[in-house]
A and B are shown apart, each in its own frame.
Chain A
Amino acid sequence: MPAPVREAPIRVLIAKPGLDGHDRGAKVVARALRDAGMEVIYAGLRQTPEEIVEAAIEEDVDLIGLSILSGAHMALFPKVMTLLKRRRATDIPVFAGGIIPDEDAARLRRLGLKAVFGPGTSLEQIVTTARGIARRRA
């Protein structure tokens, strides 16, 4: 049966870099994006920046979402951005959330992260942002 031809869903990779075991936020965000009609590749805990970038390329995602609550964001997020550059994949936008102080968030945005969210952010706002920044297909 031919499936009805409809717009391609947005594909998002949700990953937790580093050793941080707090995964509630990442799971909540993954579910919210799914309920908004997106295909969410949930890569799980303890990912290295290399693994995240490789997965993003293999899965041809339109958006990468990173979650860290451990405080290691300034060590790990810039690495992801550097690797994306090295793999010529900077057309994949990145956003993030977790426990990230405002001054760090500002620096991360200067590094190219499209948005950084802290505790209590509404899922509606996260979904709207995701739709707004996801890569558009030609």
Chain B
Amino acid sequence: MNGPPPLTPAARRILAKDRATLARVISAVENRDPAIVPTLRALFPRAGPARIIGITGPLGVGKSSVINALLAHLRGLGRSVGIIAVDPSSPFTGGSVLGDRIRLERRPGDPGVFIRSMASRGHAGGVAAATLEVTRLLAAFGMDIVLVETVGSGQVDVAIREIASTSVVVLVPHLGDEVQTLKAGLFEIADVFCVNKADLPGADLAAKDLRELVSLAASREGWRPRIVTASAREGRGIGELWAAIEAHEGYLDAGEARALAERRRISAELLGLVTERVEREVAEALASDPAVGQLLDRIVRREIDPHTAAAELAPPARRRSRRR
């Protein structure tokens, strides 16, 4: 490689902070428009790994409100902030109501903020397929920090770990049994716990319970999750929450942890991209293979089982895709 790939017009406009272009390129990524790939290629080496902070947790615990409070705090510190808020798509109609913006204080004219709502479009794990790529676009646009709100759900959505450098799990007092059901995955994803709605009774007790659970769990690669109580409504505890997030970011920078996490993240992304290509190629190859039709007939007649048929088909398919 000699030097970074050439800038496309869209890439140039994004680097020049054109908001409308950024918005349209995000849509193209969401719509898997292949024409956008040269722009993504051009921007990739021009944006360092930004701080990507995941905000996850059950439905209605105050994820958007916490993000709103963090946004005010970070703008006060002079940091620019990109926000991606993911909500579920209906599996039946594909439609979605994206409502997280309601909680976000609007600041039109502030060049240091860019907010984008995103529907999950059938992707599992609490984020959309396009979320990782869009965090990179926001970094290239010059945002210091990107906050990603996941879909609020009953179970623990681990996909955010493949995107965020720090993951915050938001909980509320009196989750009780819910914490029990969340427990399994919780400690694998939480770098920081935020007990929100601390203006309601029971927050200290919840924090104490969590502290016990955390002390029982094995530390993950030398980091023990921090626990912060906060009230997004009253703006309390938000400075402490940011300090806990920064502490984790500092831990990542102190040793090999950031590089390791980045590697793990990119290996998952690469696997996904390669799988997608191979799957497409194999599907095309099989569709044009007359032997497949005959095999299908034989399976229907119970002359051969699907496993044996797959073994018969797989090696030639692999050879074919490698020849390209």
Contact = CB atoms under 8 A, between A and B. Distances in A.
Contacts of B123: 3
Nearest to A87: B20
B47 to A, nearest CB: 19
Given A54-B108, A60-B24, A34 B99 contact: no
Nearest to B129: A3
B32 interface: yes
Nearest to A14: B97
A37 B95 contact: yes
Nearest to B130: A3
A112 interface: no
Interface stretch (B7-15, B112-120, B227-235): B112-120
A25 to B, nearest CB: 15
A58 B98 contact: no
B27 interface: yes
Contacts of B276: 2
Contacts of A9: 94-96, 119, 121
Nearest to A45: B102
A53 B23 CA distance: 13
Nearest to A47: B106
A38 interface: yes
A35 B23 contact: no
Q: What secondary structure prevails in chain B residues at the interface with A? A: mixed
Contacts of B95: 9, 33-40
Interface residues of B, number: 36
A8 B93 contact: no
B109 interface: yes
A51 B117 CA distance: 15
A41 interface: yes
Interface of B: 19-20, 23-24, 26-27, 30-32, 89-90, 93-99, 101-102, 106, 108-109, 114-117, 119, 121-123, 129, 275-276, 279-280
Interface of A: 2-3, 5-6, 8-9, 11, 30-31, 33-44, 47-48, 50-51, 53-55, 57-60, 87-89, 137
16 contacts: A2-B276, A3-B32, A3-B123, A30-B97, A31-B97, A34-B90, A35-B90, A35-B93, A35-B95, A39-B119, A40-B96, A41-B101, A41-B117, A47-B106, A54-B108, A57-B19
